[in-house]
Chains A and B, each alone.
Chain A
Amino acid sequence: MLKSRFLMVFVLLVTLGMILAACGSSDNEESTGGDSGESSGSEDSGGDSGSGDFSVAMVTDVGGVDDKSFNQSAWEGLQAFGEENGMSKGEGIDYAQSESDADYATNLNRLVRQDYNLIFGIGYLLQPAIKEVAGQYPDTSFALVDSVQEGDNIASIVFKEHQGSFLAGVAAAKKTQSNQIGFIGGVDGSLINKFEAGFVAGVKSVNADIDVEIEYAENFNDPEKGRALASNMYSKGVDVIYHASGGTGNGVFAEAKDLKNANPDEDVWVIGVDRDQHEEGQIGDANVTLTSMVKRVDIAVQDVSEQAMNGEFPGGEVIEYGLEDDAISIAETNEEAMTEEIRSSVNEWKEKIINGDVEVPSTREELESFVDAL
């Protein structure tokens, strides 16, 4: 009895396996047969509708393409590039979203196989995957945003965030009344330390007596944590918080808006990051966004795409975008909060940085010697 049952299960499994296998092979044939029809169809349309045979795609990190931050900005840059060259999503430009760390390499590989000429990896989290995949496909060009990876077919795009953060620090130092300023970072690492070092240097340059409290959420996507950190800081008397923490920063805005709502006379400010986060800070007629350290990933993506299309792909190079390219800037949307005095002071320091009079520190060690030299 038992044996016959086992037999039945076995037969069922074998049949199931055979059905699957049959489906597999027929579908495979179809796809290899249809490959020339189908996928090359999309490739053709991708290549031909654009300029020549050029096509670009990008892989987001786990934030996704609608993260209101740099993934979104990168896609906007790619769309702008596509518009100029008569391409649209799926026709010459495209993106692949990653659901987890394990998906980066898979997505990069998929786009290589769909014959994209240039593939962007958005965010430093993709660095190991880019390194691996670029080594395997030397004929495809890759560009890595926010991190550096050596390789003849890899262009590394980095931003001088420390410069922008320095100016944000100047604005914060001019605005604070309690002489206590906060910094909330995403994940403690060399990238966000750049923001931290520049910001603290900016604050100390204006007034060395101001305290800067530094906290890391250890997460770019945890608004609850951001809110808790912000609440803690504000209750201790901090009145300006600069967040460099992606989605976590939404919690900082939420907390500041709540405080403002409860007591309209309270002075609480948030400095946004990556994009102009003016909208995030709007509450009624008031706005808690003092300014934002705007990082134009879109400009960089568009720029590198154009270079690659013209056959001048900067492979193996590290391209730095900074204040002088307008790829880093300080938003002045909140005119009420950014008074004339603050604005002129920010511009003054901006000139000094561009002229090279001020060397903005980008690591904690450099910051130490910078502060000592003040």
Chain B
Amino acid sequence: MFSNRMINILIPVLSVLLGLAAGAVIMLIFGYNPVDGFAALWRGAFGDSYFFGETIRQVTPYILSGLAVAFALRSGLLNIGVEGQVFAGWLASVWIGISFELPMAVHLPLAIAAAALAGAVWGFIPGLLKAKLGVHEVIVTIMMNYIALYVTNAVIRNLLTDGADRTENIAATASLKSEWLAQMTFYSRIHYGFIIALAMAGVMWFILNRTTKGFELRAVGFNQHASNYAGMNVGRNIITAMVISGAFAGLAGAMEGLGTFGFMSIKSGFTNIGFDGIAVALLGANTAVGVVLAAFLFGILKIGALNMPTEAGVPTELVEIIIALIIFFVASSYMIRWVLLRFKKEGK
């Protein structure tokens, strides 16, 4: 009745349902009406085309940051540094966007490519350290996040502007903004980046499942020693994985820089796009399709949550709790698997 594959799909779905149910219980305990709360959440994300556009806008970087984490995880690497790579990509895209005057056909691709490259470089460093010196990538990437945050702030303040706290707006030729999409959605900030994000999901699936390199990457992810024994260059594969992962993350930054905002301001803390990407990848079981679906869920929850306080009086923090619970249930998938298998046996 339950094949392995079915269980792999059922676990995230059940986790989401359990998370939402637990959220409802918490709302009840604190005296809020869960039906009103979830209705407000739903209307906040899909209520009209403006909110739908905003939801898509939020989903876009989540897909890319989720892909970045998932890609590295498939190769056995935990890339906590997506956040920093997002910063690198965001900065690079805005930098190109404000400093050149070029026709759109050149400017926009250049800005996007610069973002991917910047993210890739930021991923390359921990990859290199891991491959050559065996330094654990988690530690290096966490440190690289802080370096990215502060370097970005310094660059904005001292190089891109004269002591101001945000850059100028990027030239229209480098913008992903779309007049007609915005008009269709009552001026939401939806932009063409969404297409890039979906295309990248396709790219990830293709690389991992249809190329020799992808096979090697996955093999390294399963067992480094066996891969080494089979004649694969483990070190090079680690670096490749981090570079591609970083490039995805850099693109997520470009979505913010060229699409949502059109500028970059001094950040006093992390954007959480990268950290949420870890959750997205986990929920999406590190597959391209899963990541896209999980990114949708997170985008809906984040944007819809903003509507909960005004419409239903439920604090937005509750949505954070629900997200955390969903992750908890995904992480404790062993428990769900055990219960499912129990059912399976009894079914027989």
- A-side residues, CB < 8 A to B, are 5, 8-9, 12-13, 24, 27-28, 31, 42, 90, 94, 96-97, 99-103, 105-107, 109-111, 113-114, 125, 128, 132-133, 136, 187-189, 218-222
- Contact assessment for B313 and A109 in the assembled complex, using a CB-CB cutoff below 8 Å: no
Chain A CB count within 10 A is highest, among B6, B47, B58, B272, for: B47
**Residue in chain B with minimal CB distance to A217:** B268
Write out the residue numbers on chain A whose beta carbons fall within 8 Å of the beta carbon of B46. 24, 27-28
**Residue in chain A with minimal CB distance to B45:** A24
- Contact assessment for B187 and A136 in the assembled complex, using a CB-CB cutoff below 8 Å: yes
Query: Of the candidates A94, A102, A125, which one forms a contact with B310 in the assembled complex, judged by CB atoms under 8 Å apart?
Result: A94
8 A/B residue pairs, CB under 8 Å, sorted by A? A28-B46, A96-B306, A96-B309, A101-B261, A101-B265, A101-B271, A106-B54, A189-B164
Complex-state Cα separation, A221 to B293, whole angstroms: 34
If A109-B188, A218-B153 touch, does A114 touch B310 (CB 8 Å cutoff)? yes
A sample of 4 more A-B contacts (CB under 8 A), given A9-B9, A189-B163, A219-B269, is: A102-B58, A109-B186, A189-B266, A221-B269
Closest approach, in angstroms, between the C-beta of A72 and any C-beta of chain B? 16
Complex-state Cα separation, A8 to B293, whole angstroms: 17
- Contact assessment for B266 and A109 in the assembled complex, using a CB-CB cutoff below 8 Å: no
If A27-B42, A221-B268 touch, does A188 touch B163 (CB 8 Å cutoff)? yes
Interface footprint category on B = 35 or more
- Contact assessment for A218 and B9 in the assembled complex, using a CB-CB cutoff below 8 Å: no
Write out the residue numbers on chain B whose beta carbons fall within 8 Å of the beta carbon of A114. 310
- Contact assessment for B153 and A90 in the assembled complex, using a CB-CB cutoff below 8 Å: no
**Residue in chain A with minimal CB distance to B46:** A24
Closest approach, in angstroms, between the C-beta of B323 and any C-beta of chain A? 12
Closest approach, in angstroms, between the C-beta of A5 and any C-beta of chain B? 5
Write out the residue numbers on chain A whose beta carbons fall within 8 Å of the beta carbon of B189. 105
Write out the residue numbers on chain A whose beta carbons fall within 8 Å of the beta carbon of B303. 106
Write out the residue numbers on chain A whose beta carbons fall within 8 Å of the beta carbon of B309. 96-97
- Contact assessment for A100 and B272 in the assembled complex, using a CB-CB cutoff below 8 Å: yes
If A96-B306, A110-B310, A221-B268 touch, does A188 touch B42 (CB 8 Å cutoff)? no
Write out the residue numbers on chain B whose beta carbons fall within 8 Å of the beta carbon of A132. 187
Closest approach, in angstroms, between the C-beta of A216 and any C-beta of chain B? 10
Does any Cβ of A come within 8 Å of B50's Cβ? yes
Write out the residue numbers on chain B whose beta carbons fall within 8 Å of the beta carbon of A27. 39, 42-43, 46
Closest approach, in angstroms, between the C-beta of B177 and any C-beta of chain A? 11
- Contact assessment for A218 and B266 in the assembled complex, using a CB-CB cutoff below 8 Å: yes
If A9-B5, A188-B165 touch, does A109 touch B50 (CB 8 Å cutoff)? yes
Does any Cβ of A come within 8 Å of B87's Cβ? no
- B-side residues, CB < 8 A to A, are 3, 5-6, 9, 39, 42-44, 46-48, 50-51, 54, 58, 153, 157, 163-166, 186-189, 256, 260-261, 263, 265-266, 268-269, 271-272, 289, 293, 303, 306-307, 309-311, 313, 316
Write out the residue numbers on chain B whose beta carbons fall within 8 Å of the beta carbon of A31. 43, 47
Complex-state Cα separation, A24 to B304, whole angstroms: 14
- Contact assessment for A128 and B263 in the assembled complex, using a CB-CB cutoff below 8 Å: yes
Query: Of the candidates A13, A99, A187, A222, which one forms a contact with B316 in the assembled complex, judged by CB atoms under 8 Å apart?
Result: A99
- Contact assessment for B42 and A96 in the assembled complex, using a CB-CB cutoff below 8 Å: no
Complex-state Cα separation, A94 to B269, whole angstroms: 28
**Residue in chain A with minimal CB distance to B267:** A101
Closest approach, in angstroms, between the C-beta of B54 and any C-beta of chain A? 5
Write out the residue numbers on chain A whose beta carbons fall within 8 Å of the beta carbon of B164. 189
Query: Of the candidates A42, A128, A220, which one forms a contact with B166 in the assembled complex, judged by CB atoms under 8 Å apart?
Result: A128
Write out the residue numbers on chain B whose beta carbons fall within 8 Å of the beta carbon of A90. 310, 313
Closest approach, in angstroms, between the C-beta of A47 and any C-beta of chain B? 16
Write out the residue numbers on chain B whose beta carbons fall within 8 Å of the beta carbon of A5. 3, 5
- Contact assessment for B307 and A110 in the assembled complex, using a CB-CB cutoff below 8 Å: yes
Write out the residue numbers on chain A whose beta carbons fall within 8 Å of the beta carbon of B307. 110
- Contact assessment for B5 and A222 in the assembled complex, using a CB-CB cutoff below 8 Å: no
**Residue in chain B with minimal CB distance to A102:** B260
- Contact assessment for B9 and A12 in the assembled complex, using a CB-CB cutoff below 8 Å: yes
Closest approach, in angstroms, between the C-beta of B33 and any C-beta of chain A? 14
- Contact assessment for B187 and A109 in the assembled complex, using a CB-CB cutoff below 8 Å: yes
- Contact assessment for A189 and B165 in the assembled complex, using a CB-CB cutoff below 8 Å: yes
Closest approach, in angstroms, between the C-beta of B312 and any C-beta of chain A? 10
- Contact assessment for B306 and A107 in the assembled complex, using a CB-CB cutoff below 8 Å: yes
Query: Of the candidates B260, B266, B272, B310, which one forms a contact with A187 in the assembled complex, judged by CB atoms under 8 Å apart?
Result: B266
**Residue in chain B with minimal CB distance to A99:** B316
Closest approach, in angstroms, between the C-beta of A308 and any C-beta of chain B? 20
Closest approach, in angstroms, between the C-beta of A119 and any C-beta of chain B? 12
Complex-state Cα separation, A5 to B6, whole angstroms: 9
Closest approach, in angstroms, between the C-beta of A365 and any C-beta of chain B? 12
Complex-state Cα separation, A129 to B311, whole angstroms: 22
Closest approach, in angstroms, between the C-beta of B32 and any C-beta of chain A? 14
**Residue in chain B with minimal CB distance to A13:** B289
Write out the residue numbers on chain B whose beta carbons fall within 8 Å of the beta carbon of A101. 261, 265, 271
Complex-state Cα separation, A109 to B311, whole angstroms: 14
Complex-state Cα separation, A136 to B187, whole angstroms: 7
**Residue in chain B with minimal CB distance to A98:** B306
Closest approach, in angstroms, between the C-beta of A363 and any C-beta of chain B? 11
- Contact assessment for B268 and A113 in the assembled complex, using a CB-CB cutoff below 8 Å: no
Write out the residue numbers on chain B whose beta carbons fall within 8 Å of the beta carbon of A12. 9
If A28-B46, A109-B50 touch, does A103 touch B306 (CB 8 Å cutoff)? yes
Closest approach, in angstroms, between the C-beta of B41 and any C-beta of chain A? 11
Query: Of the candidates A9, A100, A107, A188, which one forms a contact with B157 in the assembled complex, judged by CB atoms under 8 Å apart?
Result: A188
If A13-B289, A27-B46 touch, does A110 touch B306 (CB 8 Å cutoff)? yes
Write out the residue numbers on chain B whose beta carbons fall within 8 Å of the beta carbon of A189. 163-165, 266
**Residue in chain A with minimal CB distance to B271:** A100
Complex-state Cα separation, A219 to B268, whole angstroms: 5
